Structure 1
Amino acid sequence: MRKRLGRAAPCAIAVGLALSLAACSAGTANQASATTGTINVEAPNSAPTFTNNFNPFSQSDTGPGLNIIYEPLVASNRAKGGVLIPWLAKSWTWSDGGRTAVLTLRPGVKFSDGNPLTADDVVYSLDLLLKNPKLGGATYSFVKAAGSDAVAVTWKSAAYQQLGDLKTVNIVERKLWANRNPLTYVDKTPVGTGPFTLKAFSPQAVTMAARTDYWGGKPAMANLKYVAATSANVQTQLQSNSIDFCTCDIDAKNYVAADPKNHHFIMAWDGSVVSVMLNNAKAPFNDVNVRRAFADAVDNEAIAKLASSKLPIVEPPASPTGLSTKTYQGWIDPKYLAPRKQDVAAAKASLQAGGYTIQGSRLTKDGRALPVTFVAPSDTPFIMTIAQLVVQQIKQTLGIDVKLSGGANTGDEIAKGKYDLAANWLSSGEGVYTALNQFNGSLAVPIGTEASNNSVRFRNTAFDNILAQMAGTEDQNKLKQLGMQAQAIFADQVPTIPLFSSGAAGVANTTHWTGWPPAAEPDYLADTGSGTELITTLMHLTPAKG
C-alpha cells in the first residue's frame, strides 16, 4: 500500500453510499448471480507470515480480514470528501446541543453465529474503550441503551464532527466477550457482523467464507483468500494472475502495460498527503522562519513526479493547507488550491529575518550550529527516496547539510518527537474537520512521550479555537468558512511541508472478477486497508464471463 447502508432492497449498499444508478445496477447483478469462486487479494500491510489471532482489540499482530469480519456503527465515503454514512446504525439524531447522538440500529443484522445484533452489544463494545484506555481511548464520555434498537452516545461538549470517531470501534457480541480480556485474549474463531467468516488459516494464506445471511446481501464470491505476498514477491504473483487485487507498493505502470485489457490501476484518493514533518517543538523548527524557509526551498512538483515514477499517473503537488486537492477541492480556499512554488529568494529571506546564517554547511544562530537530521525508514524505499531528494534540494538551495538517518525504529522516533525532519502520509479523507484536527494543539505531547496524533507537535491557540468551533457546528456552510480560516493559519505557520496528494495505489485484475470502481471519479474507494470500503467493493464485483 502506498502508505486508510440500507438492506430494504438489493441496491441497499449503493443507496447507503449515495452511489450512481450504474453502481446500483452492478449491485443488483451481484445479488442475482450465483455464489461462486474465490477472489485472491494481498493482505493489507502484509507480513511474510500471518498470525492466528483475530481479536479486534489486539494491540499486537493479528490475522488479515479483521476489517471485514467486524463492522462499525458508521462509516465514511472518502471518495466523496469523507461524508459520514450509515452502516450498522441506519440513522442518528442529535440532542442536548450536539452533545448526544442517538443511533438507531439497522434491523435484521445478525452475528455470524446467528444471534441478532442488540443495543446491549453496541453499548458493551463502546464501553470497552471507555473502561480500557489502553485500547486507544474514546472521545465520547458516556454511552447507554436508548430502547432495544438504539444507543445514546454522549460527549462532554458539542461533537457534531466527532461522530465519525465511532468508525474505528468494532462491534462485538457481548455474551462472547463478557469474560474475555480484550487486551490479551487470542481469538482464533472470530464472530462478527461482516459478510465473511474465517474458514481456514495458515501462516501463508487465510481463507474467508461468504455468508448467505449478511444484512447487506450475498457476495458473488464463495471465498475470499488473503495471500501473504511481500514487497519482494507481490509483483510476480500479480503478473501471474494469482492475485486479483491489492493496494500495495508495486510497479503499477509495468503491471498495467503487461496486459492492458485485464490489468487495471485503481488509485484510492483517501485524503492523504505525503508531507515533510517538521518538529515544531524542537529547535530550529520551533521557529516559523525556519519552517517557512525549508518549505520555500523544496520543489514539491519535482518530488511528486519522482514519487509517481512507477504509477500510470502523476500524483498532484499538494496544497499548502495540508489538505488533499483530490479529496477536498470544494473545501479548500481557492487561493490555496495551487501548490507552494519553490522560491529560493524567499527561503533565504526567511532565514535572514530569523537571524540565521549558513556556516560550514550548517544552519547557525547566535554563533551556535543547529544540525538538522531527516529521519526516514530504511525499510520503506518509497519514503526513503523522497527523503533523499528533499535533502538534496535543501543542500542545493540553502547550502545546508541535512543528515539522513534510517533504521527499523523510525516510527518510534517520530512518535516520541526524536527527529528534526521526517516524511509520512498525513491528513485524512474522513472529513475536513478530522483532517485539520490532527494538528490540534491539545493533542501535542512533550518530546519523549509517544504521540498518537499531532506528532509534529504544532501549537497555535487561534487554530485550536477554530477547530473547537468546527466541532460544535453541523452547519456545512459555517464548517467550510471556519475550515478556510484554519487553512490560512496552517499555510502561514507551516507545521509541515505538504508535498503531494496521495492515497492507496491499487491494481485489479479483471480476468476473474469485474465491477471494480472506475479510476476516474469513483463513487467509493477500493482499498484493502479499509473494511467498509473493501466490503463495498466486494459487493459490487461479479464473475468475469468466459
Structure 2
Amino acid sequence: MKKVIAGAMAASLCLALGACSTEGGPGSSPEGDAPRVLNQVGWGGTTWNQNFNLFSPTGVSVTPGTAYIYEPLIRVNRIAAGEMMPYLAESWEFNDAGTELTFTLRDDVTWSDGEPFTSADVKFTWDLVLSGETPASYPFTSVETPDEHTVVVTYEEQSFQDLVGFSTRRIVPAHVWENQDVRTWTNPEPVGTGPATVSQFSPQQITFDIRDDWWGGESKGLDQLNMHAITGDATKSQIISGQVDYGTFGWANAQQEFVDLAPETNFYGFYPVGTADGLIFNVEQAPYNDVHVRRALRAAVDLETAAEIVAVGYGVPSEAALDPVVYADQLAPNSEHRYDPEYAQSELQAGGWTVSDGQLVGPDGQSHSLRYDVYQPYDEWVRTGTILADQWQRNLGLEVAVNQMADAPFSEASTTGNFGMLSSSPTGGSTPYQVFNSLGEETYVPLGEQAINNYGRWQNEEYNAIVTELAGIAPGSDDARARELSIRAQEILIDEAPFIATATAGWKAVINGQHWTNFPVPGEDDYAPNPTLPADAALTIMNIEYRE
C-alpha cells in the first residue's frame, strides 16, 4: 500500500485511500483465479442506453465510462495550475506566431483490437469535427499528418491558450468509425486506446475488462470494473455496506455518517480543480455597483464556519477565487479570505451607506432590499446561502432574502443578468488564462443579452490588458511574466470584489476501503479519481492496488 493518510491528516481524511473488491456476492474477496473487481457508482440516471458514440447527436445520452475507453493527447496536472503533461502525445510545440501546433505521438500505443494508433486516427477524429459531422466544434482550421507519429494543427490566429483543449479532445479509431454514420451510430462495442473494454452491458450495469496490453502499463491489481446505475439514498447505503466500493458524489455529514463507521478504511475526499464556487454581484445594478457595498458584504461573512457547517468537504478559496493548493506558487500575497465585521461596517460608512430596518440605505436616501438568488438543486449552495444571510444580519443588520430557484428560471436570470446577487462559479478553467479570461472583455455582454460567463457584467481596463497579454504567452515559455500577470490580476479582483468566493470547487470521492488502496491523494497527486475525466479516469483505475 503506497498512500496512507495518517497523523495530522487523519483528523480530516481519516484513512488509507481505498475501495473494496467483490466477486460473486457483495464484499467477497477473490479466490484462486477469480478476477479482482471494483464496483463503482455510475451516473446519468437509473437506466442506460448502449451508446458509446462520443459525438452522438441522436438525443440518446452517451453511456457512462467512455473516459476509460477513449483518450486525449495530453492531460492536465491537477495540482499545478496550467501545467500540461504528455499522454498519447509525448511532446508538442507551437510556432512563434502561435498559429501552428505540432504534436509528436507515442509510437507504442495500440487500439484495444490490436491495431496500431497513428496520426491517421487523430486526423480522422478531428476532421469529423471540422467537417461539421458532429455537434462539437474546434478552434483550429486544418489537420495535417507529415508521418505516422506527427500531427500538425493550424489556426487562423494566435492560439497559444488552446493547448489545454487537447486534454479533453479524445481520439477514436479511424478503421472502426470510417464506415459509420456518426450522426446515428451508437457504437455499441467501442474500441479505444484506454485501459478498459466493455465485456457486458445491461441498462443497470456495465462490466469493463481491464486490458493487459495497455500502453501505460499493466494494472496494479484490477481485473474488472462493474459500473452500477444507482442514485439517491441507495448510493450511500450500498457504499456503507460494501456492495459498491467507489463513487463520486457529494455527501453532507459524510464524516459522521460514513467515515466514522470505519475510519481505517472509509474515505470521503475533495479534489480541488483550482477555482471556486460562490456569489456573483451584478455590478451594473444598485447597490452592487458600489465597490464599498461589495467589499462590506464579502468581509462580513465567516467562510471557514460556513464550510464546517455545510460539511461536504470543500475549503475556503482565496478572495480572487483560486484554490490555494492548485495555485500554491501563483497566489497573490495576503489573498486569503478576510473575515472582519468591523472593516465591513467601515466600508459601508466610506460609501455613505447605512442600514435601516434591515434594508441598505444609500447616500441618496434610497432604500434597497437585498435578495440572494440560489440554485435550488445544489443543496450545499442553498445551505451556504442561508448561513451567509444569517451572518449579514448578525454583523451588518441586513435582512437578506435567500431565494431558491429551479433550473429554468435560474438559467434565465443568470444569463440575462436579471439578479442582484447570484450563486454560481465566479471563474472557470484549468489554466490561469482561462480563469481570468472568464471575467475578461471577451466574455462581457450587456444586460439582457445572453452571457456565457461573467454573469455579473464586471469589467476593468487594466485587467483586460492583463488577460490579453496572458493570451500571447505560449505555455511554459515565460513563466515568470505569466506569474507576475497572474498576481496582478488577483490583486485587481480582490480590490474590486465582483464576487465572493465561498468554497473551493472540485470533485468528490467516496470510497469503501476494505480491499483496494492507492487512490490519488487530494492535493498531492497530479490526477483525480473522477471517472468522467479523460486520462485521470484511466490513471485512477490502473494505479489502485489490492489489499492482500
Q: Contact conserved, 1:72 with 1:169, CA < 8 A, in 2?
A: yes
Q: Which residue matches 1:463?
A: 463
Partner secondary structure for residue 109 of structure 1: coil
Q: Contact conserved, 1:327 with 1:429, CA < 8 A, in 2?
A: no
Alpha-carbon distance between aligned partners in 2 of 1:511 and 1:209, rounded to the nearest angstrom: 21
The yes-or-no answer on 1:539 pairing with 2:542 is: yes
Q: Which residue matches 2:228?
A: 227
The AA in structure 2 aligned to 1:332 is L
2:379 pairs with one of 359, 364, 381: 381
1:498 CA displacement? 0.9
Alpha-carbon distance between aligned partners in 1 of 2:526 and 2:255, rounded to the nearest angstrom: 23
Q: Which residue matches 1:500?
A: 503
1:35 CA displacement? 9.1
Q: Which residue matches 1:100?
A: 100
1:347 pairs with one of 344, 348, 353: 344
1:92 CA displacement? 0.8
The 5 A counterparts of 1:165-244 are 165-178=165-178, 185-219=185-219, 220-244=221-245
Q: Contact conserved, 1:267 with 1:503, CA < 8 A, in 2?
A: yes
Alpha-carbon distance between aligned partners in 2 of 1:139 and 1:411, rounded to the nearest angstrom: 30
Q: Which residue matches 2:247?
A: 246
The 5 A counterparts of 1:65-464 are 65-132=65-132, 135-178=135-178, 185-219=185-219, 220-250=221-251, 251-254=253-256, 255-308=258-311, 311=313, 315-336=314-335, 338-343=336-341, 345-351=342-348, 358=355, 361-363=358-360, 366=364, 370-396=368-394, 397-409=396-408, 412-413=411-412, 414-425=414-425, 427=427, 430-447=430-447, 449-464=449-464
1:330 CA displacement? 1.1
Q: Which residue matches 1:26?
A: none
Alpha-carbon distance between aligned partners in 2 of 1:445 and 1:191, rounded to the nearest angstrom: 43
The AA in structure 1 aligned to 2:291 is V
The 5 A counterparts of 1:507-522 are 507-518=510-521, 521-522=524-525
In structure 2, relative to structure 1, the CA distance for the partners of 1:346 and 1:129 (3 Å cut) is farther
Mean CA deviation greater in 425-434 or 104-113: 425-434
Q: Contact conserved, 2:279 with 2:426, CA < 8 A, in 1?
A: no
Superposed CA deviations along residues 94-139 of structure 1, whole A, max 9, x for unmatched, are 2133332200111132233333323232123234444449845334
In structure 2, relative to structure 1, the CA distance for the partners of 1:132 and 1:372 (3 Å cut) is farther
1:238 CA displacement? 0.8
1:85 CA displacement? 0.5
Partner secondary structure for residue 97 of structure 2: helix
In structure 2, relative to structure 1, the CA distance for the partners of 1:76 and 1:519 (3 Å cut) is closer
1:403 CA displacement? 4.0
Alpha-carbon distance between aligned partners in 1 of 2:67 and 2:415, rounded to the nearest angstrom: 25
1:160 CA displacement? 3.3
1:227 CA displacement? 1.7
1:169 CA displacement? 1.2
In structure 2, relative to structure 1, the CA distance for the partners of 1:486 and 1:175 (3 Å cut) is same
Partner secondary structure for residue 305 of structure 2: helix
The AA in structure 1 aligned to 2:344 is A
1:536 CA displacement? 0.9
Count of equivalent residues: 506
In structure 2, relative to structure 1, the CA distance for the partners of 1:357 and 1:304 (3 Å cut) is same
Q: Which residue matches 1:3?
A: none
Q: Which residue matches 1:528?
A: 531
2:482 pairs with one of 479, 500, 503: 479
Alpha-carbon distance between aligned partners in 2 of 1:398 and 1:437, rounded to the nearest angstrom: 36
Alpha-carbon distance between aligned partners in 2 of 1:189 and 1:135, rounded to the nearest angstrom: 21
Q: Contact conserved, 1:79 with 1:327, CA < 8 A, in 2?
A: yes
The AA in structure 2 aligned to 1:319 is S
Alpha-carbon distance between aligned partners in 1 of 2:286 and 2:182, rounded to the nearest angstrom: 41
Superposed CA deviations along residues 356-377 of structure 1, whole A, max 9, x for unmatched, are 5555544455566555432323
Q: Contact conserved, 1:427 with 1:436, CA < 8 A, in 2?
A: yes
In structure 2, relative to structure 1, the CA distance for the partners of 1:521 and 1:411 (3 Å cut) is same
Alpha-carbon distance between aligned partners in 1 of 2:416 and 2:226, rounded to the nearest angstrom: 37
The AA in structure 2 aligned to 1:107 is D
Q: Contact conserved, 1:372 with 1:403, CA < 8 A, in 2?
A: no
The AA in structure 1 aligned to 2:288 is F
Gaps of at least 5 residues in structure 2 are 1-31
The AA in structure 1 aligned to 2:140 is Y
Q: Which residue matches 1:10?
A: none
1:477 CA displacement? 1.0
Alpha-carbon distance between aligned partners in 2 of 1:51 and 1:458, rounded to the nearest angstrom: 43
The AA in structure 1 aligned to 2:270 is M
Output the TM-score relative to the length of structure 1.
Answer: 0.83
Alpha-carbon distance between aligned partners in 2 of 1:367 and 1:356, rounded to the nearest angstrom: 9
Q: Contact conserved, 2:326 with 2:523, CA < 8 A, in 1?
A: no
Alpha-carbon distance between aligned partners in 1 of 2:442 and 2:181, rounded to the nearest angstrom: 30
The AA in structure 2 aligned to 1:222 is D
Output the TM-score relative to the length of structure 2.
Answer: 0.83
Partner secondary structure for residue 531 of structure 2: coil
Q: Contact conserved, 1:50 with 1:203, CA < 8 A, in 2?
A: yes
1:218 CA displacement? 3.1
1:288 CA displacement? 3.2
What is the percent sequence identity of the aligned residues?
Answer: 29
Mean CA deviation greater in 185-194 or 76-85: 185-194
1:388 CA displacement? 1.4
Partner secondary structure for residue 194 of structure 1: coil
Superposed CA deviations along residues 250-273 of structure 1, whole A, max 9, x for unmatched, are 243132211123223333222232
In structure 2, relative to structure 1, the CA distance for the partners of 1:430 and 1:520 (3 Å cut) is closer
In structure 2, relative to structure 1, the CA distance for the partners of 1:271 and 1:410 (3 Å cut) is farther
The AA in structure 2 aligned to 1:242 is Q
In structure 2, relative to structure 1, the CA distance for the partners of 1:523 and 1:93 (3 Å cut) is closer
Q: Which residue matches 1:14?
A: none
1:435 CA displacement? 2.6
1:543 CA displacement? 2.3
In structure 2, relative to structure 1, the CA distance for the partners of 1:98 and 1:215 (3 Å cut) is same
Alpha-carbon distance between aligned partners in 2 of 1:51 and 1:501, rounded to the nearest angstrom: 34
Partner secondary structure for residue 442 of structure 1: helix
The AA in structure 1 aligned to 2:171 is I
1:487 CA displacement? 0.9
Alpha-carbon distance between aligned partners in 1 of 2:499 and 2:152, rounded to the nearest angstrom: 38
In structure 2, relative to structure 1, the CA distance for the partners of 1:206 and 1:322 (3 Å cut) is same
1:213 CA displacement? 2.9
The yes-or-no answer on 1:41 pairing with 2:45 is: no
Mean CA deviation greater in 320-329 or 106-115: 106-115
Superposed CA deviations along residues 202-245 of structure 1, whole A, max 9, x for unmatched, are 23222222223322123332221112232322111111111221
Alpha-carbon distance between aligned partners in 2 of 1:426 and 1:245, rounded to the nearest angstrom: 30
The AA in structure 2 aligned to 1:322 is A
1:304 CA displacement? 2.0
1:53 CA displacement? 2.3
Alpha-carbon distance between aligned partners in 1 of 2:184 and 2:495, rounded to the nearest angstrom: 46
Q: Which residue matches 1:27?
A: none
1:531 CA displacement? 2.8
Q: Contact conserved, 1:441 with 1:457, CA < 8 A, in 2?
A: no
1:88 CA displacement? 1.3
